[in-house]
Structure formats: structure tokens, C-alpha cells
């Protein structure tokens, strides 16, 4: 908290979360309302200009936070729960179970994230729910690897052996001793992966595999602006929104990593 850059990152993330909650109050126009004032450059009436249908870009960027950020949070939470559970089992049980889970992670790692996510989304059909599902499928292995490594690092500790000698069950050992001592790396990774989830969701939407029009979503807005780069404001402002969120997540993740001192894991 004494580092100015971290305070700026927290302020940026807090501002975006606040905008996502209050989007219906703070946006100057209805994000879906069309007008005859198409492709208007930034002005006093439309601070971020308008798009090809005369929709206010600022309002769409603000409402895009209501869609992009919660979807990214859902990806991170679900991938953390799935990957964390599998990593916990692999690290604590070991032997054949560990081998099977780690080979499954290797299989997923063999494909580029965006390519595999595109394949999954195309198979199930473009929608926000399917985009989240696809990204959870491609994201969970990294959490499984990190949690497994943390569990392996503490599995041989004396206090775990003493707990077993006292007759404490494995579920209680996991809940009381293993999980609390392996959560640090997962928190760091989840913070960093939040920015990555925003980027991947925007990438799927840019390719037409995310939320369907006319929903306001940052990646889809960039795709519309890419059709005519002379109308730079249509894609630049949602791109800046993605940039600020990703940078803030990375800065915050680095700060948390330094705090927990888990850079060696």
C-alpha cells in the first residue's frame, strides 16, 4: 500500500468495478439507442464519439465493463476452483492419481489457449456462457500446476505427519493445514490471470465467438472499429479500457506476489 503504482492500480480497478455497478446511472445515453449521428468524432455531445449506428461509444464502453469484468471474474473463479481442486488432489494423493492429472494438464497445455478456446466455443455456439466455459477449460491447468507444486512443498512437513499420527482424517488435514498454506500462490496467479481472462474474452468476442450483437462488449466493439480504422475512436476507447484493466491486474498481481514471496514457486 506504500507503493504509488499499486494504489493507482487499485484505484483503476475500483473505478471500473464502480462503473460496472453504476453503468445504468453514469452512462450519458442508452448503449443500444441508435441515432442519425453516425460515426461522429469525439465532441461535447459524445465524448468518445459514436459508431456506425449512431450509438454513443462512451455509454457502450461503460456498459461493456458490466459484461467484460464479471465474465472475466467468473472465468478466474471457476478455473481456480476446478484447477485448485485437481492440483490439491494430485499433490496430496500422488502416485497414479498425480500422473493422470498432470498428463491431462499437459494435454491442455499442448494447444494455444486462444485456439483451443475458439474450438470449444465454436463447438458449443457463440454465447457468454460458452465463452466462459471455453476459457475455464483452457485455464484450469495452470492453477492445478501451481497448487500441486505448493502442496508438494508442504506435504512432508512435520506438522502434517503429527496430524496423521494423532488420527486426524485426510479431509480435515487438507481443509485445516494444506489449503491455508497453499493459497498464497493461487491468489497471486488469480490476480494475474484476471487480466489474461479479460484479454481472452475480448479476443473471442473480436472473432465473433463471444456475446452476440448488439450487446456492448469491449472485444466486439474493437472488431466493429477495425472495419474502418479511419474512425479510430470506435476501437481505441474500448481498447484503452482493456489496457487499463489488464495493466492494473498485472501491477496488483506483482505486488501480491512480492507480499507473499512466492516468486520462487
The secondary element (H helix, E strand) that includes residue 126 is: none
Arithmetic mean of pLDDT over the chain: 87
Please state the pTM of the whole predicted model: 0.87
Pick out the chain residues at pLDDT < 50. 262-265
Listed residue (184, 102, 180, 113) closest to 144, CA to CA: 102
Q: Residue 112: which region, alpha, beta or left (left: phi > 0; alpha: psi -120 to 50)?
A: beta
Structure confidence at residue 163 (pLDDT)? 67
Give the C-alpha separation, 142 to 110, whole Å: 12
Q: Is residue 265 part of a domain?
A: no
Instruction: Please count the structural domains in the chain.
Output: 1
Q: Is residue 187 part of a domain?
A: yes
Q: pLDDT tens, 174-206?
A: 777 777 777 778 888 898 899 999 999 999 999
Listed residue (87, 102, 104, 260) closest to 174, CA to CA: 87
State the cell numbers at 153.
512443498
Q: Is residue 90 part of a domain?
A: yes
The secondary element (H helix, E strand) that includes residue 246 is: helix 233-260
Contacting residues for 206 by C-beta, under 8 A, at least 6 apart: 219, 220, 222, 223, 226
Structural domain boundaries, residue 38: 4-260
| Look-up of cell digits 489488464 | 246
Q: Is residue 245 part of a domain?
A: yes
Q: Residue 126: which region, alpha, beta or left (left: phi > 0; alpha: psi -120 to 50)?
A: beta
Q: Is residue 164 part of a domain?
A: yes
Q: Is residue 197 part of a domain?
A: yes
Number of Cβ atoms within 10 Å of the Cβ of 165: 8
CATH number at residue 180: 1.10.3720.10
Give a three-class secondary structure readout of 176-236: HHHHHHHHHHHHHHHHHHHHHHHHHHHHHHHCCCCCCCCCCCHHHHHHHHHCCCCCCHHHH
Q: Is residue 87 part of a domain?
A: yes
Structure confidence at residue 263 (pLDDT)? 45
Amino acid at each position: 500500500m506504500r507503493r504509488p503504482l499499486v494504489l493507482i492500480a487499485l484505484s483503476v480497478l475500483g473505478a471500473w468495478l464502480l462503473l460496472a455497478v453504476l453503468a445504468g446511472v453514469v452512462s450519458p445515453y442508452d448503449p443500444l439507442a441508435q441515432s442519425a449521428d453516425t460515426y461522429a468524432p469525439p465532441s461535447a455531445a459524445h465524448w468518445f464519439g459514436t459508431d456506425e449506428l449512431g450509438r454513443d461509444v462512451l455509454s457502450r464502453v461503460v456498459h461493456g465493463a458490466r459484461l467484460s469484468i464479471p465474465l472475466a471474474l467468473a472465468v478466474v473463479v471457476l478455473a481456480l476452483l476446478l484447477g485448485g481442486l485437481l492440483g490439491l488432489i494430485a499433490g496430496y494423493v500422488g502416485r497414479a492419481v498425480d500422473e493422470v492429472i498432470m498428463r491431462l494438464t499437459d494435454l491442455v497445455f499442448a494447444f494455444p489457449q486462444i485456439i483451443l478456446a475458439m474450438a470449444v466455443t465454436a463447438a458449443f455456439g457463440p454465447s457468454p456462457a460458452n465463452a466462459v466455459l471455453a476459457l475455464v477449460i483452457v485455464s484450469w491447468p495452470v492453477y492445478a500446476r501451481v497448487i500441486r507444486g505448493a502442496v508438494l512443498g508442504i506435504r512432508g512437513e512435520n506438522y502434517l505427519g503429527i496430524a496423521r499420527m494423532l488420527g486426524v482424517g485426510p479431509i480435515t488435514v487438507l481443509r485445516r493445514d494444506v489449503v491455508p498454506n497453499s493459497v498464497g500462490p493461487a491468489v497471486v496467479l488469480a490476480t494475474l490471470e484476471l487480466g489474461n481472462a479479460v484479454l481472452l474474452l475480448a479476443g473471442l468476442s473480436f472473432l465473433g465467438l463471444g456475446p452476440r450483437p448488439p450487446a456492448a462488449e469491449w472485444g466486439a466493439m474493437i472488431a466493429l472499429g477495425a472495419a474502418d480504422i479511419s474512425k479510430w475512436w470506435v476501437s481505441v476507447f474500448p481498447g484503452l479500457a482493456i489496457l487499463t484493466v489488464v495493466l492494473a491486474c498485472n501491477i496488483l498481481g506483482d505486488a501480491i506476489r512480492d507480499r507473499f514471496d512466492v516468486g520462487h514457486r
